[in-house]
């Protein structure tokens, strides 16, 4: 499906997101440009938004709805190296879109929290992983989560594109985001209920752009 049709479908199902159509479209375009230029996505958030960060990476690093066969060149090399296991891998591996959740490396996170400061657990990882052309997606229902705000600040300083997924005020993240998707609502649970269809849409648009031909 085309990007426009997918976004129209989202706002038909969730009319409350209609005012955010331009921001959602812009976020899709930024992510597509990032991947086209060989970049990657970094994602972070706390609590429910931590789970959302992991969820997003899970949709990007393997097939979401479409088939993503690895390249014929890789399939050939795998089978040359190992006729049996190589054939199995060639038939089952899927192309991934590089994405890292900054919430999952417990040894690193606890080391940063213990050895430096707990509020920079995401910012430290942006320093280590980030490069110009990458995208940071910061998720915070209030827009004021200190560790997410710090990650956005470091990302901006390093030349990454910053996309924010927040509640309606945007909080402190508003000033640091190149693109802000501030869904309506201020109650954490209600905001998070609208975050899921938005990031599913982002993942769908990206997947259709790169793998729709399959």
Taking the C-alpha atoms of residue 47 and residue 143, their distance in angstroms, rounded to an integer, is 14
pLDDT tens string 136-182: 999 999 999 999 999 999 999 999 999 999 999 999 999 999 999 99
Are the beta carbons of 147 and 122 closer than 8 angstroms? yes
pLDDT tens string 59-73: 999 999 999 999 999
Q: Please give the model's pTM, rounded to 2 decimal places.
A: 0.96
For each of the domains in the chain, give its residue range(s) and CATH number, in order of start.
Answer: 3-61+96-211 (3.40.50.10490), 68-95 (no CATH)
Predicted confidence (pLDDT) at residue 214 exceeds the cutoff of 80: no
pLDDT tens string 42-96: 999 999 999 999 999 999 999 999 999 999 999 999 999 999 999 999 999 999 9
């Amino acid at each position: 499906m085309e990007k426009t049709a997918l976004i129209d479908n989202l706002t038909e199902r969730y009319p409350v997101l209609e005012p955010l159509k331009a921001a959602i479209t812009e976020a899709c375009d930024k992510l597509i440009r990032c991947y086209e230029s060989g970049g990657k996505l970094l994602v972070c958030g706390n609590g429910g938004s931590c789970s959302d960060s992991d969820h997003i990476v899970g949709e990007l690093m393997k097939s979401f709805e479409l088939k993503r066969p690895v390249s014929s060149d890789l399939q050939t090399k795998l089978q040359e190296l190992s006729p049996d296991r190589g054939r199995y891998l060639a038939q089952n591996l899927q192309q991934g879109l590089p994405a890292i959740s900054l919430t999952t490396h417990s040894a690193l996170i606890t080391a940063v929290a213990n050895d430096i400061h707990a509020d920079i657990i995401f910012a430290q990882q942006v320093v280590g992983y980030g490069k110009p052309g990458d995208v940071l997606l910061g998720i915070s229902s209030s827009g004021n989560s200190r560790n997410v705000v710090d990650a956005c600040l470091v990302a901006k300083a390093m030349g990454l594109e910053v996309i924010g997924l927040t509640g309606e005020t945007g909080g402190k993240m508003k000033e640091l985001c190149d693109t802000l998707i501030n869904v309506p609502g201020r109650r954490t649970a209600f905001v998070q209920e609208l975050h899921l269809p938005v990031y599913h849409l982002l993942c769908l648009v990206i997947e259709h752009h790169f793998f729709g031909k399959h």
